[in-house]
Amino acid sequence: MTGALRVAVVGGGPGGLYTAALLKRLDPDREITVWERNAPDDTFGFGIVLSDETLGGIEHADPVVYEALRKEFVRWDAIDIVHRGIRHTCGGHGFAALGRRRLLHILHERCRSLGVELRFRTPAPPPDRLRETHDLVVAADGVRSATRGRYADVFRPRVTGHRCRYIWLAADLAFDAFRFEIAETEHGVMQLHGYPYAAGSSTVIVEMREEVWRAAGFDALDERESVERCAKIFADALGGRPLHSNRSVWTTFRTVTNARWSHGNLVLLGDAAHTAHFSIGSGTKLAVEDALALAACLEEQPSLPKALAAYEEERKPVVASTQRAARASLEWFEDLALHLDRPPRQFAFGLLTRSRRVTHANLRMRDPRFTEAVEREFGCPPGTPPMFTPFRLRGLTLRNRVVVSPMDMYSAVDGVPGDFHLVHLGARALGGAGLVMTEMVCVSPEGRITPGCTGLWSGKQAEAWRRITDFVHRQAPGTAIGVQLGHSGRKGSTRRMWEGMDEPLPRGNWPLVAASPLPYRPGSQIPRQLTRARLTDIREQFVNAAVRAARAGFDLLELHCAHGYLLSGFLSPLTNLRTDAYGGSLERRLRFPLEVFDAVREVWPEERPMTVRISATDWAEGGTTAEEAVEIARAFAAHGADAIDVSTGQVVAEEQPEFGRSYQVPFADRIRRAVGVPVIAVGAISSWDDVNSLILAGRADLCALGRPHLYDPHWTLHAAVEQGYTGPAAVWPAPYRAGSRRPPTGRTDAPKPRLTLGR
Tell me how far CA of residue 294 lies from CA of 65, 107, 229, 257, in angstroms.
17, 17, 43, 18
Q: How far apart are CA 456 and CA 541, in angstroms?
A: 9
Q: 623 and 572 in contact (C-beta within 8 Å)?
A: yes
Q: Burial level of 297, CB count in 10 A (0-12/13-18/19+)?
A: buried
Q: Burial level of 548, CB count in 10 A (0-12/13-18/19+)?
A: buried
User: How many C-beta neighbours within 10 Å does residue 302 have?
Assistant: 9
Per DSSP, the residues of 464-504 read HHHHHHHHHHHHSTT-EEEEEEE--GGG-SB--HHHHTTPB
| Catalytic (active site) residue 66 | no
H/E stretch holding 439: strand 435-442
- How many residues does this entry show for the chain? 759
- Residues 305-323 as b/e (b if ≥16 CB within 10 A, e otherwise) read eebbebbbebbbeebeebb
Q: Is beta strand 435-442 parallel, antiparallel or unpaired with respect to 480-486?
A: parallel
Q: How far apart are CA 178 and CA 151, in angstroms?
A: 39
Q: Is beta strand 178-185 parallel, antiparallel or unpaired with respect to 251-258?
A: unpaired
User: How many C-beta neighbours within 10 Å does residue 581 have?
Assistant: 11
Q: How far apart are CA 682 and CA 678, in angstroms?
A: 13
Q: 485 and 441 in contact (C-beta within 8 Å)?
A: yes
User: How many C-beta neighbours within 10 Å does residue 617 have?
Assistant: 22
- Helix, strand or coil, per DSSP, at residue 509: coil
User: How many C-beta neighbours within 10 Å does residue 444 have?
Assistant: 21
At 703, the amino acid letter reads C
Q: 510 and 446 in contact (C-beta within 8 Å)?
A: yes
Of 287, 294, 251, the C-alpha closest to 103 is 287
Q: 443 and 456 in contact (C-beta within 8 Å)?
A: yes
Q: 348 and 332 in contact (C-beta within 8 Å)?
A: no
- Helix, strand or coil, per DSSP, at residue 246: coil
Q: Tell me which of 410, 565, 663, 725 is the catalytic residue.
A: 565
Handedness of CA 160, 166, 169, 174 (dihedral sign): negative
Q: Burial level of 431, CB count in 10 A (0-12/13-18/19+)?
A: buried
Crossing angle (nearest 10°) for helices 304-334 and 283-300? 160
Q: Where would I find the H helices in 493-651?
A: 497-500, 532-551, 566-571, 586-589, 591-603, 626-638
Q: How far apart are CA 714 and CA 605, in angstroms?
A: 30
Catalytic positions, please?
565
